[in-house]
Every structure is written in structure tokens, then in C-alpha cells.
Amino acid sequence: MKKIGFIDYYISEWHANNYPVWIDDVCKELGYNYKVCYGWAEMDKSLTDGRSTEEWCKAYNVEKCQTIEELCFKSDCLIILSPSVPEKHLIYAKEAFKCGKRTYVDKTFAPSGKEAEEIFALGKKYGTTFFSTSALRYATEIYGGDKDVSIVVTGGGRALEEYVIHQLEMIAVRMGMAIKRVMTQKTGDKAYDVYLEYEDGRRATMKYSPDNPFTMERTTERGDIIKSEINSDYFKILIRKILIFFESGEIDFNVNDTVKIMAVREKVIESLSKMGKWIDVQ
């Protein structure tokens, strides 16, 4: 059996509470033998439900580790969680990457392009292979068809700062990340339209509001308009991709896009305080 270790800021949160069961399910589908066996969290009490690390570990039949070093030593592969606090990812990677074991870093990868570059530098320093993505990259509805000249995506969630990563990953799949500049307009209470302009003049628009569903409307080079509601089981697909990576080292997209995605996200957040103004993406 291959043993997975969870590293988190506080461990009783939505991702950590669902990944173990999905890992078991996908292992049955793939014929793999992986199990979440170890857990460590910086904060003992969850900010989500107040459950302690020890209580979470008991509920999931996981051994609580006292340090990241202990967890890394015992585990065969790692998942750095902290999905709502990406500011912790560089801190955890500084310890976790030392062991050189394959690692998945949950969304959002980093709070800035600079920190994303620092994490990649750590991976190179220690010879640690890793990847990070939003599960929405694997929504089946966004694949196939002709090349797009423009896209409009919608999405929701608790806050744009945390959930914009999902829309950016969807756009990255269809149009790449050669984004030149961004601009945001407020369209309602906690609602925004974010405009992305590409170096070749193409445009993408992200429409965010807390209750928005995930959708995509594409305009192709032939002038066709293709509308899709995102209903596929993208989280299960993500878990499958993570386990295949743990098993073989295979990653099915250019991980260098991750740094650019974080840089664009950083500028989108900056644009919230500069409504209606174009901001260059460096």
C-alpha cells in the first residue's frame, strides 16, 4: 500500500473531508492501492467546524503526526491542502519538498506569481515533482471543438479572491495564458465582470457572483457559439489525475502555466481596487 500524507492549515475542511473517500473510490476504479494514512495541521482547531486534528484523524482512521517532517518521512506521497489559505503553501513546501516525494498542491497554488516562482524553485532545488490545479480544469464540458476567439465563463463561491482560480483554469484550457492585461467592473452587490485581453487581441470575460453556477460560452474561429453548463464530476477526475501522477509521475498539462495563472490572479485581485482601469500583467 502507498501511504498518502495530508498537510493542512486546519484539517477539518471541505477538501480534506472529501478527498479520502474519493481516493478510495478511484483506487478501486484504477486498481491502485493508495490510502490517506497521515495528517498534520498547523492549527489544531478547524475554522470551519471547530473539530480538532485528533478528532479528524480518528474519524478518518488516519495517524496524526506532530511535525511536517514526521509526516513526510512516513508518507510515500504528499498532498498539501490549505485550499483557502494559499499564503501557507510556500511555507509548507519549504519543509515538504525536502523529502523529494511526489506532491500535489491544492488550489489556489500561491497568492502571487512571485511566490509561485519560489515554490517552483524549491521543487527544482530538491528534485521534487509536483503539480497544482483547480478541479475545474478537468470539467469534461470544456474540451473539444474548434479554436476559440473569445470566451465568457461564469462562476461563484464565497469570494472572488478565493474562487476566481476556477474560472482562470477553465480559460487556460481553452485559450492559453498569454494574457496581456486585466480590468474589472462591478456589476452588482459582490458581483464583478473581469476582462482579460490577450497579446493577440483575443478576449475572455469572467463573470463572478457568489451564487453563479459554472458555465462557459465559447465563440469559435468559425463564428459558432457553444454554451455549456459545467455538471461533470470534475473533482473525481482530479483525484484520478492526482493518483496517476503519484503512480507514474505523469502530468497532462504544462505546469509552467501555473505561474502565469497565479500572476494573472494577482492582477485580478489588484484590479478590484482600481475599477475600470486596465492593469498590465507582468
Question: Cβ(25)–Cβ(100) under 8 Å?
Answer: no
Residue 90: φ, ψ to 5°: -65, -40
User: Looking at residue 186, what is its pLDDT?
Assistant: 96
Q: Decide if pLDDT at 109 tops 80.
A: yes
Taken in order of first residue, the domains within the chain and their CATH numbers are: 2-132 (3.40.50.720), 137-230+264-280 (3.30.360.10)
- What single letter denotes the amino acid at residue 40? W
Establish how many alpha carbons lie within 13 A of residue 164's alpha carbon, considering only the half-sphere containing its beta carbon: 28
* Model pLDDT for residues 147-206, shown as the tens digit of each residue: 999 999 999 999 999 999 999 999 999 999 999 999 999 999 999 999 999 999 999 999
Residue 105: φ, ψ to 5°: -110, 120
Q: Decide if pLDDT at 102 tops 80.
A: yes
User: Looking at residue 145, what is its pLDDT?
Assistant: 87
147 vs 86: CA distance, rounded Å: 32
User: Looking at residue 265, what is its pLDDT?
Assistant: 97
Q: Decide if pLDDT at 92 tops 90.
A: yes
pLDDT band at 93 (very low <50, low <70, confident <90, very high): very high
User: Looking at residue 240, what is its pLDDT?
Assistant: 98
Q: How, if at all, do strands 63-64 and 179-188 pair?
A: unpaired
Q: How, if at all, do strands 279-280 and 203-208 pair?
A: unpaired
Q: Choose among 184, 153, 148: nearest CA to 169.
A: 153
Q: Decide if pLDDT at 133 tops 80.
A: yes
The rounded percent of the chain whose pLDDT value lies above 70 is 100
For residue 164, give the C-alpha cell.
476566481
Helices (H), the chain: 14-30, 53-59, 68-74, 89-96, 113-126, 160-175, 234-248, 257-271
Question: Cβ(229)–Cβ(141) under 8 Å?
Answer: yes
Q: Choose among 25, 23, 17, 1: nearest CA to 59.
A: 17
User: Looking at residue 282, what is its pLDDT?
Assistant: 72
3-state helix, strand, coil in the chain (%, to 5): 40, 25, 35
Q: Decide if pLDDT at 129 tops 80.
A: yes
Q: Which of 58-62, 144-148, 266-270 has the lowest mean pLDDT?
A: 144-148
User: Looking at residue 170, what is its pLDDT?
Assistant: 97
* Model pLDDT for residues 218-245, shown as the tens digit of each residue: 999 999 999 999 999 999 999 999 999 9
